[in-house]
Amino acid sequence: MQPLFSSICCVDSGACSGQFNMEFDIRLMRAFAEGAFAREFGEGRCLWRFYRWSPAAVSLGRNQNPAEIDRERCHADGVDVVVRPTGGRAVFHADELTYSFFAATPLPNEVIYRMVHETIARALSKIGVAAEFCRSQPDFRARYASPESVSCFTASARYELQVDGRKIVGSAQRRQGNVILQHGSLPLSARHRQISRYLAGASRELLDAVDADMERKTASLDEFTDAGYADLVPLIIAEAGNSAGSDAILLTSQEIECLEGFHQSL
């Protein structure tokens, strides 16, 4: 199969605040759109970014009603509240591997969506986790109209990854012209299910429904393996390189922050 990109770049940003993580993704998307990334690192290259969250954070989809989240409870628990540049619903980021994928490409969104998840699935297979595509596409308009849809992890889109029928990677995309950003979460433990703690004004009945949905429909890596962030990131990097037929090019956050215009106001 012909590689989709001439070469693959990767960066591991480590653990950062919610605001830093979201702004870094937005700045990287702008660097691709304005050509700064290509001028510095070469045409035809895509970028994988890996990161964690410190402190824990609730992220909302860019069109989600912020009133759905109890900011006072988040503040009391030391939990950040941020808005993602992509759509979707709320995610509690506590103990997870988060990735972002960037490219300037005319390829359809669905092609990128599938390629990214295929790469992650191959990496998971190396640690004995058999992840499979979700084959159906829910009616998200109808889903988002229901009160229990406040959590992003309770619905799986086509080509998202599941293990034993439960979602283990949640992803979302945003495209601006020729540039695509896809990012997503892979829970390392069950802490992502605590999202119900941070819902504002929810009845006990709704909280119970969200908890039951999360328990029934979502999975975390620790259910299947002792491997964690430090084990999985190098495997994804290796598989990303394999998809281009060469080793991935490892970058540092500092190299990226030196890109032309990177620190201009958002």
Residue numbers annotated as active site: 152
Torsion of CA 158, 230, 18, 161, to 10 degrees: 10
